[in-house]
Amino acid sequence: MKMIDKTISQFIDYYSEINMRPPHILNEIYHPDVILIDPFGCYYGLNKLKKALSPLVLNLNVHYLLTDEPLRNDRSFAITWTLYWSHPILTFNTIAELNGCTYACIYKGKIISQENYYDLGEFLYEKIPLLKCAIKKIKINQMNEDPDAASDSDHG
């Protein structure tokens, strides 16, 4: 098995059962100097990564479904996923769904950088009732906006 395949397999195994995996497993997957870039922020180093993931594991009921075969080369991979999650306050313990993707670079058999892409508004802000209404209005207005009208007013 190629080193990249082993790393991808470890990544998939960890996130598929994140609620049941102890944090020390991350030592096998991530380089000590890992950089995680996520809509919540940037985290430098394995200890910061563990701290960033701990609220996810502690406060949410989480299940990742890694949806497609990863795209890969010898030093990196990208994978799409769906996060199924619930929270006693944000979702009233009903299951919510969030789609996203991850791009990761490998150095010496471990993930050295990881970028997660997903809609933070959909994940968090749209779960807060007052913000949910405001965000929905903005999205509806954007969908109904005539793109030619904006460019006409800019030039006239």
Let me know whether 58 and 83 are in one domain.
yes
Tell whether 78 and 144 lie within a shared domain.
Answer: no
Ranges of the chain with pLDDT below 50: none
Domain match, 88 and 132 both: no
**CA quadruple 85, 49, 100, 78: dihedral, nearest 10:** -140
| Distance from C-alpha of 94 to C-alpha of 86, rounded to nearest angstrom | 6
Q: Do 59 and 132 share a domain, yes or no?
A: no
**148 and 99 both lie in a single domain:** no
Count the domains in the chain: 2
Specify the pLDDT at position 90. Answer: 74
pLDDT tens figures, 45-88 = 999 998 888 766 566 777 777 777 899 999 999 999 998 888 77
pTM (2 decimals)?
0.78
- What CATH number did the domain enclosing 22 receive? 3.10.450.50
Query: Is 141 found in the same domain as 100?
Result: no
Q: Are residues 104 and 128 in the same domain?
A: no
Q: For position 94, what pLDDT does the model report? A: 82
Q: What is the pLDDT of residue 58?
A: 60
E strands, the chain, are 30-38, 41-44, 61-66, 71-72, 76-86, 96-107, 110-118
Same domain, 14 and 36: yes
Q: Which ranges constitute the DSSP H helices of 38-146?
A: 46-59, 120-123, 129-144
Res 155: pLDDT = 55
Q: Find the domain containing 105 and state its range.
A: 3-119
